[in-house]
Amino acid sequence: MRELLAVTKALSDANRVRMLLSLRGRELCVCQIIELFRLAPSTVSKHMWILSQARLVERRKEGRWMYYRQAGRDAPAPARAALRWVQQALAEDPQTQRDAKRLEAILRIDPEVLCRRQCKR
């Protein structure tokens, strides 16, 4: 029950759902997520923490960089089922498609450049 409630809480926010979908098939640095959603670093960190607590995403730290990806096969059944459902339900969503297009451009920018740019804001 606890796992299911954590998943439903995590999916109750549009930005978290969009962040989750942006990780489909890839790993992103937190600076790339910040750039994509144009949110404050603390806001993105909070959203990613909630997704992580629900075990919808996995994270790893490399030096000063934090990377996120969608949860894999080790995730609990409710998380895996939710990932499949969200991806299927929103595959043709216009916002999801706009996010994917914007992310393509962001992925061409060096993450260190993004980080420096965000620190100056």
- List all residues 6 or more positions away from 88 whose beta carbon is below 8 Å from its beta carbon: none
Report the alpha-carbon distance of residue 77 to residue 97 in Å, rounded: 27
pLDDT of residue 14 exceeding 70: yes
The partner residues of 62 in beta bridges, in order of sequence, read 65
What CATH number is attached to the domain comprising 60?
A: 1.10.10.10
Count H helices and E strands in the chain, helices first.
7, 3
The C-alpha atoms of residue 105 and residue 77 are separated, in whole angstroms, by: 34
Percentage of the residues of the chain whose pLDDT score is greater than 90: 78
Segment 27-82, tens digit of pLDDT: 999 999 999 999 999 999 999 999 999 999 999 998 888 999 999 989 999 999 99
Tell me whether residue 121 is in a domain: no
Q: 46 lies in a domain?
A: yes
Q: What is the pLDDT of residue 116?
A: 78
Indicate the number of domains in the chain. 1
Let me know if residue 87 belongs to a domain.
yes
CA-closest candidate to residue 20, choices 62, 61, 50: 50
Q: Does 105 fall in a domain?
A: yes
> What is the domain extent for residue 84?
2-116
Q: Give Cα 59 distance to the centre of its chain.
A: 10
Predicted confidence (pLDDT) at residue 86 exceeds the cutoff of 90: yes
The pTM score is: 0.91
Does a structural domain hold residue 35?
yes
**Mean pLDDT value of segment 2-27:** 94
